[in-house]
Structure 1
Amino acid sequence: MSDDADPAAAAGADTPLPFEVAAFYDAYGEREWERLDRDFHHRLEWEATTAYLDEHLPAEGHVLDVGGGAGRYAVWLAERGLDVTLVELSAEQARLAREKSRDHGVADRVTVTRGDARALPASAGAADAVCCLGGPLSHVLDADGRVDAARELRRVAADGAPVLVSVMGLLASLTRIMRHSGLVPDEHDETELLPALARTGDYDAALLERFDREPTAQPMHLFRVDEFEALLEAAGLVVETLAALEGPFSQRREDLDALTEAHCEAIRETLAELREDRHVVDHSAHMLAVCRA
């Protein structure tokens, strides 16, 4: 599987992480804070996301950070003078977000609360901006639940407020599985899952049970760009921009140490040219929507 948090890589083959969203991130712990600075591939996600936040978020006000994990974006936003309420399902990630806010001197600007994206603990129109970054919507495994979560993002946003949402992309994952087909040990070779995964986008317990396989990543729903846009628009959001966060580089995660700074800069410049091309968005590991409530 091509997701960022591979249990085998993160925890060792003998200690797989739980295949349940909150439990997974409880066990994943501080690695979620470290994820966006782990390597060049993950920094591309961070750099592009923060660039769009810089461009579209207000200079002051209250931001609701839905599924904010260990607080990487919440801390960044607070350091820029915004007041942030981070809503997180995982108890351990919520604890880390409080700790990181204190460590970075922004605890007075960051409030952390436990909550579910499908029923946010916030009043209608309470937020001057809403963020749901890194794929929280992808971790809502039932279609009706994703509809509820998208509607909640619109409900809590003030009229006209920016709403930025990113999810995990299906085509990048399918391509990565195909690239590794026959080249990795059988327990990591998920080629047989491809037809079903392509039809539904669901990497879940039902899929794994059908093929009697152990997971190689956390449970998730993987999106096509049309599905992603339609979900947000049906919730009452106006989608202004769709962007690929890693684009074609989604398929280049190995041998990253071989890249020189000149290589990295050329890749950044190329992605800047291509990232809002709809076809590129559809093939990215993460796709971002910039919306208006």
Structure 2
Amino acid sequence: MKEIELWYDEKYDEWDRLDRHKIEFDITRRYMDENIIGENLKIFDIGGGPGRYSIYLAEKGHRVSLLDLSKRNIEVAKEKSAERGISLEDYIHGNALELDKYNDLYDVILLMGPLYHLTKESDRRAAIEGALRLLKPNGIIVASFISNYAPIQDYLKAVYPIESVDELLGYLKDGENQGDKGFTTAYFTYYKEAKELMNSFGLTEIVFANVENILGTKEKEVNMLEESEYRKWLEIGYQLSQDESLMGTGEHYLYIGRK
């Protein structure tokens, strides 16, 4: 956990990441708009980084609390929300594995970062259990995973030189990423594993989407398109995002379920 906290505190700008990865951000927000229904909802964003989604939902009138492992991310969230003239309900420096200290109940819980930084299944299950304890009956949980095809897709974006074919393909067998391999400690998952994990908690699956799908390796080119053309490709990506035959083509999986 200290290594992951250090990564986001000192080495990585998570706020700017979603400027570069517009497709991920825009398709995820569309799914939120379609499935987070109601006004003035109470929302807990667990592991929400610097609050890109927290702020988006707060701007729509919801009461959002943000928790993140990184102190820097929390400070950025405070700065960015102030710039927009809003305030989140709470900004918490905390750990997704230590949710037993919280007792409020929420209409919606976002768990969109922790599950791909927890390499042990027991820890992933503990984070989900802790989140669901805080979710109201019939509430909505939104969870994110990094695909075990993501390292291959990332290399393909710029056709980077490959040091080891076996190492790159190895993520398909063992999704664990060590902190000395260009990213902090992480776990990349097969889509069926992610679906089965979430549904094992008795949730009703509403959405399971491969967010970037076929647009992923052309991300830079799509981002540079004139707005009307960008929106056409975004619509194609959205329409294909739940196509099971394309689940290995993107980098992030999005799960939305009802308790």
Scaled by the length of structure 2, the TM-score of the pair is 0.89
Residues 6-37 of structure 1: CA distance to partner in whole angstroms, max 9, x if unpaired?
A: xxxxxxxxxxxxx92111000146x2112212
Q: Are residues 1:289 and 2:259 paired?
A: no
Corresponding position of 2:244: 278
Hey, what's the Cα distance between the residues in 1 that align with 2:154 and 2:51?
29
Partner of 1:200: 174
Match of 2:123 in 1: 145
1:177-196 correspondence runs (5 A): 177=155, 184=161, 189-196=163-170
Contact 1:154 1:236 in 2 (8 A): no
Cα drift, residue 285 of structure 1: 0.6
For each residue in 1:124-146, what CA deviation from the matched residue of structure 2 results, as whole angstroms up to 9, or x when unmatched? x611101122x331011222111
- Paired-residue identity, %: 25
CA distance in 2, matches of 1:245, 1:180: 20
Structure 1, 281-290 or 154-163: larger mean CA deviation: 281-290
Query: Secondary structure of 2:172's match?
Result: helix
Question: 2 CA distance for matches of 1:274 and 1:257?
Answer: 18
Q: Give the root-mean-square deviation of aligned CA atoms.
A: 2.3
Name the amino acid aligned to 1:228: A
Task: Structure 1: state its 5+ residue gaps.
Answer: 1-18, 206-213
Does residue 215 of structure 2 align to residue 232 of structure 1?
A: no
The answer (yes or no) to whether the contact 1:239–1:290 under 8 Å persists in 2 is yes
Structure-1 separation of matches of 2:205 and 2:229: 33
Q: Is the CA contact (8 Å cut-off) linking 1:177 and 1:190 kept in structure 2?
A: no
**Counterpart amino acid of residue 35 in structure 1:** R
Separation in 2, partners of 1:271, 1:195? 25
Question: 1:139-163 CA deviation, whole Å, 9 max, x = no partner?
Answer: 1122211111121221111010011
Q: 2:3 aligns with which of 15, 20, 34?
A: 20
Relative to its length, the structure with more strand (as a share) is 2
Provide the C-alpha distance between the structure 1 equivalents of 2:144 and 2:182, rounded to a whole number of angstroms. 22
Distance 2:94 2:211 in 1: 26
TM-score (norm 1): 0.79
Residues 206-233 of structure 1 show CA distances to partners (whole Å, capped at 9, x for unaligned) of xxxxxxxx42222211111111011112
Distance 1:132 1:45 in 2: 16
Query: Structure 1, residues 21-71: CA drift from partner, whole Å, max 9, x if none?
Result: 111000146x21122122xxx111111111111111132221000111111
Name the amino acid aligned to 1:114: H
Amino acid corresponding to residue 106 of structure 1 in structure 2? I
Query: Does residue 264 in structure 1 map to residue 226 in structure 2?
Result: no
Give distance in 1, aligned partners of 2:14 and 2:135.
26
**Cα gap change, 1:193 to 1:54, in 2 (>3 Å):** same
CA distance in 2, matches of 1:105, 1:174: 40
1:157 aligns to 2:126 (yes or no):
no
Q: Give the total of aligned pairs.
A: 256
1:162-194 Cα distance to aligned partner (Å, 9 max, x none): 11111111123234447877x52xxx6343413
Distance 1:136 1:190 in 2: 28
Q: In 2, Cα distance between the equivalents of 1:258 and 1:128? A: 37
Once the two structures are TM-superposed, the CA of residue 282 in structure 1 deviates from its matched residue by: 3.8
Unaligned 5+ runs, structure 2: none
SS in structure 2 of the partner of residue 154 of structure 1: helix
